[in-house]
Amino acid sequence: MVRDTVDSNPSLSDNLAQRETLGGGNEGGNMDDNLELVHLLRAVTVEFGLRQAEFAAANGMHPTDVRALICLLDAARAAEPATPGLLGTRLGLNSAGTTAVVDRLERLGHVERVRDPADRRRVLIRVRPEAVTLGQEFFSPMLHGVLEALAPLSPAERTTIRDFLTAAREAFTT
């Protein structure tokens, strides 16, 4: 009876197909639960974006400058050479836009351009320790809150979260 009603109503039929696609089937979990997680992830990213903008405003920076610093710090953690090309690619900027961001950050004392010791023709961008300290002072309370939320989780639960966040990130980058 319910299936007949769904089949005769295109919008309900589309909704059912969407539910199955979005994980409303048996093994994917309840669609409402899945969408709640998607909305929570969105809310976290919005809050983080607001804190980034707050940090930028408090320190005379453009929000893109903060994203650039994060990209440079991520590259350093991954032992990737932080070149202007890498920064431009990660931020979706052309070379003029990348130069403008690096110039602003350099003027503010947050980064420095250095020659790559392995290839003196190449320029690397390094985040200065003072910028790291500035960011730590501002973002530390939020980082502590996240670490406290992770503390009671088992290694298996953290692995599940890591896998989910990795897959979610890939969904946005492909």
Per-residue pLDDT of the chain (174 residues; tens, 9 = 90+): 444 444 444 444 454 445 445 544 445 567 888 999 999 999 999 999 999 999 999 999 999 999 999 999 999 999 999 999 999 999 999 999 999 999 999 999 999 999 999 898 999 999 999 999 999 999 999 999 999 999 999 999 999 999 999 999 999 887
Residue type, 27: E
* Torsion sign, CA atoms 159, 162, 168, 174: negative
Q: What is the pTM of this model?
A: 0.76
Q: Tens digit of pLDDT for each residue in 63-109?
A: 999 999 999 999 999 999 999 999 999 999 999 999 999 999 999 99
**55 and 49 Cβ atoms separated by less than 8 Å:** no
Domain boundaries of the chain, sorted by first residue: 30-138
C-alpha distances in angstroms, 127 versus 25, 53, 124? 47, 19, 10
Residue 105, token pair as written in the block: 């950050």
What is the CATH architecture of 30-138? Orthogonal Bundle (1.10)
d(CA 166, CA 174) in angstroms, rounded, equals 12
